[in-house]
Every structure is written in C-alpha cells, then in structure tokens.
Amino acid sequence: MDIKVRELSPIVVQTIDERAKKRGLSRQHYLKELIENYVMQKELNETDQAYKTLIEKNTEALHRFSDQMQRQNEWLESMSEDMDPTQEKR
C-alpha cells in the first residue's frame, strides 16, 4: 500500500536523506522502516506492560503463598512438639 506525504520542509527531507544515506538505505526504504518500527514499538510496549503487570501479580501471589507455607510449617512444628512422647509434659 502506498502513502504520500506532502508539504515537508526541505530541512526535514534533507535530514531524512542524510540519515538514510548513513544507514545505506534509500529514502523510501528508510521511511518504510521508520513507520514499521514505530507501529511495532507501540505493540511491543503494550505487550511489555502486560508482562510486567503479570509478573507483579505472580510475585504478590508467591509472597502470599510463601507466608502461608511458613505459618503452616510453624503450626506443624508446634503440633509435632505437642505429640512428641520424648518431651516432658508440664
């Protein structure tokens, strides 16, 4: 699909041409890459944010799970101490 851009200042066009030349690209190919990268970057940023949110939620869940496991271990230890026949009863 074609896109036409009109009424760019000569300085902008010159800068585009210089940057394209530095990369060894034609103006058309350079602009095509710029537009494609711009579009993809937005999608990548959204995906990145979704993963960050997921990691935060999983981290919170793991902390809660760890706390619960610690409480259960403490409870089991206290129960085993109460049931240990080698310990004196008071």
* Cβ-based neighbours of 3, under 8 Å, separated by 6 or more: 35
Residue type for position 29:
H
* Candidate from 16-25, 59-68, 79-88 with smallest mean pLDDT: 79-88
How confident is residue 10, by pLDDT bands cut at 50, 70 and 90? very high
CA 63, CA 65: separation in Å to the nearest integer? Answer: 5
Helix and strand tally (H, E) in the chain?
2, 0
What is the reported pTM? 0.53
Q: Please tell me the distance from the alpha carbon of residue 36 to that of residue 4, in angstroms, as a whole number.
A: 15
Residue-wise burial string across 3-14, b where 16 or more C-beta atoms lie within 10 A, e elsewhere: eeeeeeeeeeee
| Predicted local distance difference test score (pLDDT) of residue 89 | 56
